[in-house]
Every structure is written in structure tokens, then in C-alpha cells.
Amino acid sequence: MFERSPVTRLLPVMLGALISLAGTTAAHADATLDKIEQRHVLVVGVLLSGGPFGGIDPATQKPRGLNVDLAQELGRQLGAQVQLVPVLPANRVQFLQQGKVDLLIANMEWTPERGEILGSVPTPFYRVGGSAAVLKDSPIARWEDLKDQPVCTSQGSSYVKPLTEFGAQIKAFKSSSESLLALRGNNCVAAVHDATLINPLLADSAEWQGYRALTPELNPAPSVIWTRRGETDTQARLDPIVQELHRSGWLIEAQTRNHITPASPALVELQQKFQASGA
């Protein structure tokens, strides 16, 4: 009557083979380190929003900044070719989660909420807090003065939460450049970003002469290299490299090379810590 075709008869066998194959690939826990060691490629998401941490060099049209230097140095030490992928604050987490990038060096500070959804290299490479650019004659002197005032920032900024707690009305733009333009258009009383973006901008640029920065820094937090959650092998491989970069003074030198002002006291502190423990 009805006879099974050879293919249908083999179906359970093929399915079984497929399932066992899937099982063997799942045995590799940390795909990123495997990929780096086998294919010698490291894909790093960097934030190129301008400023000394990451931006485009107007002369050569190439990315530059501390983020870029650090990515290249990691690649050199791992013997891998570095591919840079520009990310935005609003999409960087998704880029990492979906595997478009292996690591994030994107001005993203460690917070407990982020620590739950992603993994990170334990040793931070920088410490940074928020600062606000306000008009020189503005009455705002303390962070508490921002209560019920419109404040510009970027979507995905880690300062949204503390600013909400101060009672500020947040206006979050796609990136820091739009936020700063909106401040200059008087759409808000302050623009809050990393102090490492605000300080050099106000110090160097003639266009920003009418503005001053708000101190002290808001919520100083460690900047870390982010990995996908659970990729402990990659973290364990990168952690001694970052510690060595502190110990040898490479990070302090990179800070000077990229004209990051004011120089971070945290870098000196970390260098002393690792020099003491390493010696």
C-alpha cells in the first residue's frame, strides 16, 4: 500500500546526527576567544562621536582617539587584526548582544544594571563622570539646580537615571552632537555628557566660549571593556593585558597623546596599585 521513501526512512537518523552536531558546537563556551585565536580577527565597537575618546581625524578621515588606540593595542597583543565598527549610545548594547561586534570600547561606564545584561573585563581602563555645559551667566551652580529644567543628553546615556532623580526634564537626542546643538539653540539649559567630552570642548573651541562646565563630576564610574554575558574566557584573557597597560603607563601616555584634559587621577591611582602588586 503506502511505502516510505528512502529519504523519509532516513529522516530520524539525519535528525539525530544534526542534533548531536549541534551538541558538539555548543560545547565551546566562549565563542569570542575561539574566534580571535582561530581566525585572528577582533571586531570592536567604538563610539566616534567626536572628542578625544573617539572621533574622525579631519585630515585623514580615519578614526582616532583613546577608544581606537586601545582597540588597536588589544589586537596587537592578541595577534589579531582589528576591525572597527562605529556604534551609537542607543544601539551599542544590541550590536554586542547580536554579535555584530565582539567587544565594546564605547565610553560605556559600568553600572549594576548594565552588569546584569552584559559581561565586562574586571579592570577598568578609565574612570569618568558626567559634566554639564551651561551658559556662563546661567544661574545653575549645583546639580540640584537642574530640577524641573530641560536638560539635553544622548539616548542611552548613563546619566539619565541620576538626572531623573534630581528631577530634571530629560531631552535625549540620538547622539551627543545633536544634544550639544540643541543646547546652543536654547532648547535646554544644560547638556550633560562625559566630562571628558565637555571639558576639552569648552576649553578648546572658540564657539563654546560663552559656556562653562558644572562641577563636581556626576556619578564617576569606571569605563570598562564590554563583552557578551558569560564570556569569562575572553574577560580572563583581556584582564592581564589591561592591568599591564596600567602598570607600564601605556594608558597614561595614550591619555596625553590624545589630549584628554584634565588628566584622570584614577589612571595614576590604578598604575600605582598594579605596580605595587606586580613588583
Partner 1 sequence: MNHWLEFFVHWASSLGLNYGFLLDAYPRSTLAQGALTTLWLCLLTIIGSLLTGLGLAALLTSGKRALAVPARVFIEVTRNTPTLVQLYCAFLVLNMLLNQAVGTANPLTPFAWVVIVISLHKGAFHAEALRAGIEAVPAVTLEAARSLAFSNRQLLWNVQLPLALRFALPSLINNLIDLVKMTAVASAIAVGDITYSAIMIWTQSDNVLELMILLLGFYGLLSFIVNCVGRYLEARLRMPGYGH
Pick the closer one to partner 1 by CB: 93 or 104: 93
Q: What nine digits make up the cell of 231? A: 564570556
Pick the closer one to partner 1 by CB: 81 or 164: 164
Min dist CB 272 to partner 1, Å, is 35
Pick the closer one to partner 1 by CB: 84 or 163: 163
b/e sequence 5-14, b meaning 16+ C-beta within 10 Å: eeeeeeeeee
Distance of CA 109 to the CA centre of its chain: 7
Beta-strand relationship, 126-135 and 150-154: unpaired
Min dist CB 65 to partner 1, Å, is 22
Contact at 8 Å (CB) between 152 and 132? no
What is the SS3 assignment for 42? strand
Pick the closer one to partner 1 by CB: 18 or 117: 117
Min dist CB 156 to partner 1, Å, is 4
Pick the closer one to partner 1 by CB: 160 or 213: 160
Min dist CB 61 to partner 1, Å, is 22
Quick one: CA torsion of 57, 58, 62, 64, rounded to 10 degrees?
10
Task: Give the footprint of partner 1 on this chain (CB under 8 A).
Answer: 89-90, 93-94, 113, 116-117, 152, 155-156, 160-161, 170-174, 178, 181-182, 184-187
Q: What is the secondary structure of 104-146 as a DSSP string?
A: EESS-B--HHHHHHSEE-SS-SEEEEEEEEEETT-S--SGGGG
Min dist CB 77 to partner 1, Å, is 31
Q: CA 210, CA 136: separation in Å to the nearest integer? A: 6
Pick the closer one to partner 1 by CB: 72 or 91: 91
Min dist CB 181 to partner 1, Å, is 5
